[in-house]
Amino acid sequence: MSRKLSGILNSMHEKNMDALIAVKPENIRYLTGFNPSSFSLLLLKDEPVLFASKLDIEDASQSSKVPVEELKSLKDIKELLKGKIGIESSMTVETYKKLSNNFKADITDLIEVSRMVKSPDEIENIKKALEIAEKSFEDVEFSGTEKEAAAKLEYNMMVLGSSKPSFETIVASGERSSLPHGTPRVTKIESPVVIDWGAVYNGYASDTTRTIIETEKQEEIFNIVLEANKKAVSAIKPGVKTSEVDKAARDVIEEYGYGDAYIHSTGHGVGLEIHEMPSLSQKDNTTLEKGMIVTIEPGIYLEGEFGVRVEDMVQITNKGKVLNKLSHKLTF
């Protein structure tokens, strides 16, 4: 049995759970090595079983680290559920109703918590995804339309080995750069331009943002955001609360008078999903540990003018180790 699986089972025993149901594809992949293409269910107990659909049964049988059975009906699994059963917070109400059997449900994030600390293999996959993403940026020209730049970036990532973009690539320029999640349009690129993109390698994601600037005002705001980025990175080390890292970045931006223009959290975990625990926000007090990988992405968004964001991926070792190699300062 893998160390990941043993750790989850030990945590379940500590919480007196009789079983835990995992249906989230990323959680199933994390614990079994099998990546579902259709609905699957992992029943975690002393002898875990993966139930896979007929569509996936051959693949699951070859790649899963736990025994596999064909998923024929949730009613069959329902009869196996007795006592205190852990369920993921992401489970749909429909699935829960089909499985409910008068057991005591315990909504849990045990698997997501385990996923926060990455194994050496997971870290290498994330580093490779980041390498692909950054190399893909090198020959992208930001002289045409936002759509053209985004398409070229995604094409390059696919050619270099990414299975897909880790999220819909953001290219937002001119006034639209003040939209943190501005999707690309068929409009000519203006300054500044915010680019937020990532690759996926062996299931693991990367996430980076750069802002290409032109004017003195844009450079002024960029320098503030970069200072906030570096201050947050310098605050990172094992034992520090995620809220403290957020505060380090936020204090810089507030000191310059732009606190109201910093409208999101400072970062998040990255792994099998683009947004994972922990959240580096004012409300999250997760303690950082060695092996975590998080983003640091402060930004200032001036409505009707422009926005600037600088995002790096950071591995927690004895301190915060920035994994990105791409320059922060980019100009037209």
* Domain coordinates in residue numbering, the chain: 3-114, 120-331
Q: What is the pLDDT of residue 2?
A: 86
Residue type, 127: K
Q: For residues 302 and 90, what is the distance between their CA atoms, to the nearest angstrom?
A: 34
Residue 332 pLDDT grade (very low, low, confident, very high; cuts 50, 70, 90):
confident
Q: What is the pLDDT of residue 101?
A: 84
Q: Which fold has domain 120-331?
A: Creatine Amidinohydrolase (3.90.230)
Residue type, 3: R
Of 273, 277, 315, 319, the residue nearest 114 (C-alpha): 277
Q: What is the pLDDT of residue 275?
A: 98
Q: What is the pLDDT of residue 16?
A: 96
CB 106 within 8 A of CB 128: no
Q: What is the pLDDT of residue 1?
A: 75
Q: What is the pLDDT of residues 108-146, one digit of tens each?
A: 999 999 999 999 999 999 999 999 999 999 999 999 999
**SS3 assignment, position 87:** strand
**SS3 assignment, position 220:** helix
Q: What region does 16 belong to: left with phi over 0, alpha with psi -120 to 50, or beta?
A: left
Give the pLDDT mean for 292-317: 98
Q: What is the pLDDT of residues 192-214, one digit of tens each?
A: 999 999 999 999 999 999 999 99
Q: What is the pLDDT of residues 17-42, one digit of tens each?
A: 999 999 999 999 999 999 999 999 99
Residue 267 pLDDT grade (very low, low, confident, very high; cuts 50, 70, 90):
very high
pLDDT of 51 over the 90 cut? yes
CATH of 3-114, one of 1.20.1600.10, 1.10.287.3510, 3.40.350.10, 3.90.420.10: 3.40.350.10
Q: How far apart are the first and last CA of the chain?
A: 53
CB 235 within 8 A of CB 244: yes
